[in-house]
Amino acid sequence: MQCAPIAIQAPAVMPTGPCRVPTPAPAGHPKLANVRCPIDEVPEKYRLRIPMMQDTYLLNGSMVPWSGAYDNCHSPICTSQNAKGEWVPTVIGKVPSFTERDALAALESCERAWDSGRGLWPTLPVAKRIEAIENFTSMMITRREEVVRLLMWEICKNRSDFRTHIRDTLDALKETDRASSRFQIEEGIFAQIRRAPLGVCLCMGPFNYPLNETFTTLIPAVLMGNTCIFKPSKLGSLLHGPILECFARCLPPGVVNVVYGRLCVAPIMKTGKVNCLAFIGSSKVSDGIRKDHPTPHRLRCVLGLDAKNPAIVLPCADVDMAVKECVLGSLSFNGQRCTALKLIFVHQIVAARFCQRMVEEVDKLKVGLPWAEGVSLTPMPEADKCKKMRELIDDALSKGAQLINAEQGGGQCTETAMVPAILFGVTPAMRIFHEEQFGPVVPICVYNSVQTPLDFIRDSPYGQQLAIFGTNPTEIAHLVDPLANQVCRINLNSQCQRGPDTFPFTGRKDSAEQTLSVSDALRCFSIRTLLAAKHNPLNIQIVTSILHNRQSTFLSTDFLL
């Protein structure tokens, strides 16, 4: 689906500068001089033992030796040259390539642990589940340096990206359970209402945040008493090896099982035995996965999907503030975030100044390797990502856009890294106006009437977030009410973002299904369930006896501290 064409006029003062099609830079643009690194020049503390072989996998509570085929794991960091003298991404290791039989063995293990809701884990008291995840967290932290090193090599994240929501999620579960520890009495009926698990969950995380975002769904699903099949992303698989060992040591057999490879998901879904799908990625892929389930009406889906988050820079905007936030919002982690700003609407009155300041600020960003000091942009892990970005740039330039930071190297690239490109004069005729670029290309669209960005947002297939930059309360107020019914978060004078993690994170249209925050995620992976009885002496005596003798984990007034 594409937006209907809209009229966009050029500003009275057009930014000037070279407007040429970017080409690969075999010798490397000066900004890209530090994105390749011969293996013997890698700092000692960041070196890997190459190849890293994931030769065991988590099945039924044990790390089982793998004897089948493997898939290569590539790093976007180029450490060597081929026979033609071309720098090439590094093969840093291998992970198992599951067959259908291997995938179904993982599902069978989850089913046994679930045991129609009668298994050890789904019937364990909440306090015991919390204790197990606390032990897991403590053990995982001892493996931090291994995971950080692999994060750097596999997807070029720096060490600041090793973070999870686990502690906050544990606190949220305690609060939820405290609220459920009391009985309610209505219309002569008393009841205890609690949250119960759903069953077997399939959790699939994204490559751009393979630890943080994967745990956003996996940990709440496990905490609520479900059993889980965990599939790491193809990019960012090795870093989960040390973590799987922690799961094996801290959780009962079958609570978490891992699967690898592109062939494992369809056989699992086709059995119809998955009760919940948690997936972060594209809507196209999620639709295909869901269609494999024979009874999709029984499948709960927790989905974080596509986005094309726009920014609206009003004529009353503080331009310096807007530029600062738009640079962060569009280029943090190379723009490879679903929350990234992916189209910037700038009013004609401030367009020239805004563009000039954008060029200046983007030029300050350092491109390099993830362990280098002060680096903002790193090599990108997806195969041919630079080529795809250049295709979007070329398309826009051929239809009248300007590459306004060409003199600063904008759009130049090596095999896996790219200097951010700022495109000015973007219109609906260009692919970049509609497509989610998920990379370091910043499209700027000039408008005279605020109806222009409003039409884009209304017609967009996406509805996650947007950002408004301005200082006039009246102008901003006129935008808030209609836009609140188009997206799920309006950011005022700040970039689009996820945090704080206690805030709801969701989207409309093709952007999401269900809501994720540390408390909302717990609700996603559970269902409200209650024991109810007429308020008479017999029922009171029965329930009191069960509570007094602690004969049930569901029916309980224990208060977690």
Confidence of residue 6 (pLDDT cuts 50, 70, 90): very low
Q: Side chain identity at 515, as an amino acid letter?
A: T
Residue 549 carries which DSSP code? T
Q: In the predicted model, is pLDDT for residue 124 greater than 60?
A: yes
The bridge status of strand 52-53 relative to strand 87-96 is: parallel
Q: What is the pLDDT of residue 163?
A: 64
Confidence of residue 159 (pLDDT cuts 50, 70, 90): low
Q: What is the pLDDT of residue 29?
A: 83
Torsion of CA 354, 356, 358, 363, to 10 degrees: -170
Q: What is the pLDDT of residue 3?
A: 36
Q: How far apart are CA 318 and CA 316, in angstroms?
A: 7
Question: Who's near 412: CB < 8 A, 6+ residues apart?
Answer: 22, 23, 24, 25, 29, 31, 32, 418, 419
Q: How far apart are CA 257 and CA 58, in angstroms?
A: 5
- What are the two backbone dihedrals, phi and then psi, of residue 238, each rounded to the nearest 5 degrees? -65, -35
Region 381-400: what's the mean pLDDT? 97
Q: Strand pairing partners for 418?
A: 413
Q: In the predicted model, is pLDDT for residue 27 greater than 70?
A: no
How many C-beta atoms surround the C-beta of residue 394 within 10 A? 16
Q: How far apart are CA 276 and CA 527, in angstroms?
A: 12
- What are the two backbone dihedrals, phi and then psi, of residue 346, each rounded to the nearest 5 degrees? -125, 130
Please tell me whether residue 500 adopts helix, strand or coil conformation: coil
Q: Strand pairing partners for 184?
A: 191
Q: What is the pLDDT of residue 561?
A: 82
Region 20-49: what's the mean pLDDT? 77
Q: In the predicted model, is pLDDT for residue 38 greater than 90?
A: yes
Among candidate residues 413, 437, 395, 433, the one with its CA nearest the CA of residue 22: 413
Sheet strands (E) in 117-180: none
Task: Select the more confidently predicted residue: 39 or 257.
Answer: 257
Give the percent of the chain with pLDDT over 70: 94
Q: In terms of C-beta density within 10 A (0-12 exposed, 13-18 middle, 19 or more buried), how is residue 398 classed?
A: exposed
Question: Who's near 287: CB < 8 A, 6+ residues apart?
Answer: none
- Six token digits for residue 346: 């700038």
End-to-end, the C-alpha distance of the chain in Å comes to 50
Q: How far apart are CA 290 and CA 296, in angstroms?
A: 7
Length of the chain equals 561
320: left (phi over 0), alpha (psi -120 to 50) or beta: alpha
Q: In the predicted model, is pLDDT for residue 1 greater than 70?
A: no
17 in Cβ contact with 406 (< 8 Å): yes
Average pLDDT value for the chain:
93
Confidence of residue 28 (pLDDT cuts 50, 70, 90): low
Region 270-285: what's the mean pLDDT? 97
Q: How far apart are CA 513 and CA 382, in angstroms?
A: 25
Q: Is the CA virtual torsion 114, 120, 123, 127 positive or negative? A: negative
Q: Side chain identity at 495, as an amino acid letter?
A: Q
Q: In the predicted model, is pLDDT for residue 11 greater than 90?
A: no
Q: How far apart are CA 370 and CA 227, in angstroms?
A: 35
Task: Select the more confidently predicted residue: 18 or 60.
Answer: 60
Confidence of residue 158 (pLDDT cuts 50, 70, 90): confident
Q: What is the 3-state secondary structure (H, E, C) of 317-371?
A: CCHHHHHHHHHHHHHHHHHCCCCCEEEEEEEHHHHHHHHHHHHHHHHCCCECCCC
439 in Cβ contact with 385 (< 8 Å): yes
Region 371-382: what's the mean pLDDT? 95
Q: How far apart are CA 128 and CA 522, in angstroms?
A: 16
Q: What is the pLDDT of residue 157?
A: 86
Please tell me whether residue 16 adopts helix, strand or coil conformation: coil
Q: How far apart are CA 393 and CA 426, in angstroms?
A: 10
Q: Is the CA virtual torsion 544, 548, 551, 555 positive or negative? A: positive
CA-angle at 446, arms to 331 and 18, nearest 5°: 70
377 in Cβ contact with 363 (< 8 Å): no
280 in Cβ contact with 304 (< 8 Å): yes
Quickly tell me which residue has 């609407």 as its tokens. Answer: 345
Sheet strands (E) in 160-219: 184-186, 189-197, 200-204
Of the candidate ranges 1-15, 131-145, 345-359, 389-403, the one whose mean pLDDT is the lowest: 1-15
- Rounded to two decimals, the pTM is 0.93
547 in Cβ contact with 555 (< 8 Å): yes
Region 459-472: what's the mean pLDDT? 98
Q: In the predicted model, is pLDDT for residue 119 greater than 70?
A: yes
Angle between helices 212-223 and 166-180 (to 10 degrees): 30
Q: Per-residue pLDDT tens for 171-215?
A: 999 999 999 999 999 999 999 999 999 999 999 999 999 999 999
- Six token digits for residue 454: 């409003």
Q: Give 445-465 as a DSSP string.
A: EEESSTHHHHHHHHH-SEESE
- Six token digits for residue 262: 């592109």
